[in-house]
Amino acid sequence: MTPPEALVTAPRWSAVVLGGGDPGDAFAAAHGVSVKPLIPLRGQPMAAHVLHALRGSGRVGRVAYVGPTTPEIDALVDARVTDHGSLLANLEAGVQALQTLGLAPGERVLIATADIPMLQAAHVQDVLDAAPDAALVYPVVRRETCDAAYPGVKRTYVKVKGGTFTGGNLFLLDPALIGQFLPRLREVLAARKAPLKLAGLIGPGVLLRLLTGRLTVQKLEEKVSEILGVPARALITPHAAVGTDVDKDSDLALAERHLPPT
């Protein structure tokens, strides 16, 4: 019989790590690799730091990696998936790979990009332990949290009533419901650069309140849930690393400075 403490500490999550990228990425090419997550950092591919954080958290049982790999990456993953060319296609392919491995009933999936090397095991623990029970959970970070952790680093922020936030580079989902919200999510992403189409999807009143910083987090959650057809929640996390990806050499230098000693 399994002891009670083992039931508490057993991993309840699987993960998909998105490690694909544009083969023509100048940043990657400047560092002699095909895609950004393979850029070396402290002697390992950037993606390996993310994978070590997931594995070290004690919360993640299996990992599917989407994109080109190296021997260091291969040693940390359970399934390798070919890059399908887009974020949502890669997400779907990664979840399908996990389902092939055998997801337990009720097991949820953590999606993480492979370019957040400052992510630590404790951050993963905190996010997963605090995650509400919803089909889609999106961690966000307050601007003041990012500014305090990494002064001067540029991020994209959205102001809502109650704070100014940047989006995290990981999110959580119920794989059983992915077929319900993925088509609508594709539609929203396709409309993000077409204001009239986006206004039609989310409603002009909601869009106006979002643009003027008068939209509450709760109302935004309600609207996203309505659009996607599944319960969606934001999760405010105190860990700036969750919302800080590496896109340029100054970000790489930042990661070098802030990685914990090995």
Q: Into how many domains does the chain fold? A: 1
41 occurs within a structural domain: yes
CA distance 225 to 217: 12
Residues 6+ apart with CB under 8 A from 194: none
* Rounded-to-10 torsion of CA 38, 41, 43, 49: -80
156-182 confidence digits (pLDDT tens)? 899 999 899 999 999 999 998 988 888
Res. 194: pLDDT tops 70 = no
Average pLDDT for 217-224: 89
pLDDT in tens, 74-130: 999 999 999 998 889 999 999 999 999 998 888 999 999 999 999 999 999 999 999
Q: What is the pLDDT of residue 204?
A: 74
| Structure confidence at residue 190 (pLDDT) | 72
Q: Which residue has the higher pLDDT, 184 or 40?
A: 40
Reading the block at residue 223, the tokens are 């609207």
Buried b (16+ CB within 10 A) or exposed e, 22-37: eeebebbeebebbbbb
Report pLDDT digits (tens) over 13-41.
Answer: 999 999 998 878 999 999 999 999 999 99
Cα torsion at 119, 120, 125, 127 (round to 10°)? -20
Decide if 73 is inside a domain. yes
40 membership: H or E segment, kind and range: strand 40-41
Residue 2 maps to a domain: no
Q: Which range marks the domain in which residue 240 is found?
A: 10-258
The Cα–Cα gap between 177 and 67 comes to 24
Cα–Cα dist 243/154, whole Å: 11
Q: What pLDDT is attached to residue 171?
A: 93
- Which are the contacts of 100, defined by CB distance < 8 A and separation ≥ 6? 79
138 falls within a domain? yes
Any idea which residue has 């309140």 for tokens? Answer: 209
- Is 198 within the bounds of a domain? yes
Place of tokens 């590496």: 246
Entry pTM: 0.90
The reported pLDDT for the residue numbered 36 is 96
24 lies in a domain?
A: yes
Mean pLDDT in residue range 218-246 = 93
Residue 3 falls within a domain, yes or no? Answer: no
Question: What is the chain's mean pLDDT, rounded?
Answer: 89
H or E stretch covering 159: strand 158-160
User: Which of 188-192, 218-222, 234-238 shows the lowest per-residue confidence on average (mean pLDDT)?
Assistant: 188-192
DSSP string, the chain: ---HHHHHHS--EEEEEE----TT-HHHHHTTSSSGGGSEETTEEHHHHHHHHHHHTS-EEEEEEES---HHHHTT-SEEE---SSHHHHHHHHHHHHHHH-PPTT-EEEEEETT-TT--HHHHHHHHHH--SSSEEEEEEEHHHHHHHSTT-----EEEBTEEEEE-SEEEE-GGGHHHHHHHHHHHHHHTT-HHHHHHHH-HHHHHHHHTT--BHHHHHHHHHHHHTS-EEEEE-S-GGGG----SHHHHHHHHHHSPP-
* Domain contains 213: yes
pLDDT tens-digit map of 4-14: 434 444 558 99
CATH at residue 71: 3.90.550.10
